[in-house]
Amino acid sequence: MSWAYLYGTSKKHLLHLLGSVLSLTAVNRVTLKAQKQMEARRQSLIEQTPPILIVDGVWIDILYTLDEKKLDRAGHLRQMRQAQERVILAAMAVWSQYCEGFEFLFLWGRSRGAEGQRS
């Protein structure tokens, strides 16, 4: 249920979906518990190679402050910033019990012009 908060679902929508609303403390408690489990899995060794590996990246600009200062139009002294382009990579493994649903997704994507690479 904490996923609903994560995706920006309002308390009003949760009340409609679930019939009650979780407190922020309860959502935080569930989220922290899930984070511990995810961290343990993230640190564990991968014993098998998944049949499907989906990798994606998004380019973002991160602003860093510089030591230099400049005067803005209003005459205020402002610290200068410089943008650096960085990529955020995400990977998702799809195991065999879930492959059938993803097969449809890949066929649909390919029909729309997406290209993939098979190893």
Identify whether 37 is part of a domain: yes
Q: Are 83 and 61 in contact (CB under 8 A)?
A: yes
- Lookup result for tokens 């249920």: 1
Identify whether 68 is part of a domain: no
Give me the domain span that covers residue 37: 1-44
Q: What is the pLDDT of residue 73?
A: 92
Domain count, the chain: 1
Identify whether 93 is part of a domain: no
Query: What would the two tokens of residue 53 be?
Result: 């590996």
pLDDT in tens, the chain (119 residues): 444 444 455 666 666 666 666 677 877 887 888 888 888 877 778 788 887 788 888 899 999 999 999 999 999 999 999 999 999 888 877 777 666 666 666 676 677 766 655 54
Query: What would the two tokens of residue 51 be?
Result: 């049949």
Q: What is the pLDDT of residue 69?
A: 93
Q: Which positions ≥6 away from 79 have C-beta within 8 Å? A: 65, 66, 68, 69
Identify whether 107 is part of a domain: no
